[in-house]
Structures are given as C-alpha cells and as structure tokens.
Amino acid sequence: MAVTYFGQNDDGNGHAARSLNYLKAIRFQNTAGAGNITELGINFYAGFTGNVRLGVYADTGSATQPGSRLLDAGEITNPVTGWNSITGLSLAVNADAYYWLVWNNGANADAYHNTGYNLYYLAATYGPLPTTIDFPTAQAVRTSFRAGVESGGPLSVGAHRSTTMIGSW
C-alpha cells in the first residue's frame, strides 16, 4: 500500500538547534485520510550521535495541549542528515482529525522547521514518552516532522464501506 503523509513534510524555511532532554510537540491535522500510521519521520539538518524518540498523542480540542499518549514509537539511534523514520507502526487514525506528534532527543540536534507555527516544549529527561504532557511554553516554529498513513483504517464520520458478494454460498 502507498503511504500518504501529514505534518510538516519538507525542509521548511530554516533550521535550528534543539536542546537535549526537552519534549517537543506539534499539533497537525491528518490530511492523509483514514487509515493507520505506519511511519513517523523527522528531518534533521545535521546528523548526531545519540537518540531521538518519536510518538503520537491524542488531541483534546485545545490548540495548546495534547491529550493522552496513543503511541510511543520507540527511538532512532544516531540519526543522519535528512529524514529519519521509524516504520512498521500501526496506529488507527481518522481523516481530518488532529493529532500531536511528539519527540525528545537525547543529544543536541539541529532540525529543519517552518516559522510562524507553534512548537510546544517542556524540559524532560530522555526516555519513554509520558502518558500525558502539560506544556507550559510555545515557540513560533514547526519542526519538519511527519506521519505516514496507509489507507484502510477507521472511517470518517458519514463514511461507509460496502461489500458486494458474487455467487452463492
């Protein structure tokens, strides 16, 4: 199946250093459609020695705080310059719903971003992602961070599936 992405799926208009041991979160609308997130990827301006952990959180309807963790996708060791992805995931998502993509790096990192959006962050020791997060601070950037969705997952409101049977049983 083909993967369609939502999130910040480009090199943005700049890049900046991201300090280690900070949870960072960005709210994105799933424009890829209903299906399953099978991949999370983040785009680094420069590779680094260390780890980065990626995850997905539910949306509460607030533009400033995520809901509960839906997926701790694990970590990437020694990320390289460019896109770094965790694949083989399976998280059902709905079309047009909002989700929070969250990351934490265990070493200083330089990531691509776009300015003019909100990146929420909180000091947190590197490790498994917490069940919930309360972000006190926002910065006007959006990291190049994406979720890959394979279609065939949950249905959006008002949608339906039909099956036509041919022959007799």
Distance CA 73, CA 129 (A): 9
- Residues (pLDDT < 70) of the chain are 152-169
Is 41 exposed, middle or buried (CB count within 10 Å of its CB: 0-12, 13-18, 19+)?
A: buried
Is 141 exposed, middle or buried (CB count within 10 Å of its CB: 0-12, 13-18, 19+)?
A: buried
pLDDT tens for residues 90-137?
999 999 999 999 999 998 888 877 777 788 888 999 999 999 998 877
Q: Residue 164's pLDDT is what?
A: 29
Distance CA 92, CA 149 (A): 9
Domain 3-151 matching CATH 3.40.50: the answer reads no
Q: Which tokens is 161 given?
A: 């599936």
Q: Residue 119's pLDDT is what?
A: 82
Q: Residue 125's pLDDT is what?
A: 93
Opening angle at CA 57, ends 8 and 116, nearest 5: 35
CB–CB of 155/34 below 8 Å? yes
Q: Residue 160's pLDDT is what?
A: 35
Q: Cα separations (Å) of 14 from 43, 107, 114?
A: 12, 20, 6
Domain ranges of the chain: 3-151
| Burial profile 68-98: b = 16 or more Cβ within 10 angstroms, e = fewer | ebbbbbbbbeebeeebbbbeebebebbbeeb
